[in-house]
Amino acid sequence: MKLVLMSAGTTPEITQKIVELAGKPAKEVSVCIINEGASMSDNDKRWLVDGFDKVSKAFGGKIGICNLLALDIAEVEKRIMGYDVIWCFGGNIDYTRYVFDKTGFTKLLPKILGQTVWVGSSGGSCIMGHRPVSFKVDKDSYGTTEFYGLVNLSLRPHIWSDYVEKDMYDKCVQESKKQQYPVYALSDECAIVVEDKKIYLIGKRGQKIENGKVTEEV
């Protein structure tokens, strides 16, 4: 399993790691984009447009967009397995999980992760770990109570950014005291890399926190 879990758009260092994991030159790397979670709000989508632009500039292979709700799962599998990288953008994580379950993508995910590189941006990263304890489960959660937990951690993207709550880092520290898994605080220039059982940070301003203490930092 090869995952790159980050907050926002890629940086040169993160791009290089994706290229390394894909095993071919950047000009040949193909990317299939999933962005189901972005559709559930009417906020300014410049962040998504900027993300698409960064993908386009970083990789020279084919770039596709897979709309899970528009295609049957057989067609999704046929399309998606032809790409080197699956890039899942953020937005509403609960809705993303709901769509993954509803369309059958959840059942397809193990096969995808066995053959391609998964790159998550914000919510597309969070969904691979555990649901942070401060993420409320309510009527707006689309029946989602947990994320996949495919990697034994939870992560908080966009820490130290102007557009998130000022106490977000403190929430990471507090959560780490309650869980048996590490909690990661990521800036918009940082990523968690998962190579099978090996998990480590790259980039700038990222922390792994266990039982209230920072045990890894970049």
What span, in angstroms and rounded, lies between the C-alpha atoms of 181 and 169? 17
- For 55-106, the pLDDT digits (tens) are 999 999 999 999 999 999 999 999 999 999 999 999 999 999 999 999 999 9
> What pTM, to 2 d.p., does this model score?
0.94
pLDDT of 136 higher than 90: no
Alpha helices (H) along 37-130: 46-58, 73-80, 93-103, 105-115, 123-126
Q: What does CATH list as the number for 2-217? A: 3.40.50.880
pLDDT of 41 higher than 80: no
pLDDT confidence of residue 123: 93
- For 9-23, the pLDDT digits (tens) are 789 999 999 999 999
pLDDT confidence of residue 10: 87
pLDDT confidence of residue 104: 97
CA 141 to mean position of chain CA atoms: 18
What span, in angstroms and rounded, lies between the C-alpha atoms of 125 and 132? 12
Strands 2-6 and 31-34: unpaired
Which of the four pLDDT bands, split at 50, 70 and 90, describes residue 39? confident
Encoded amino acid at 146, one letter: E
Q: What is the CA radius of gyration of the chain?
A: 16
The residues spanned by each domain of the chain are 2-217
DSSP secondary-structure letter at 180?
S
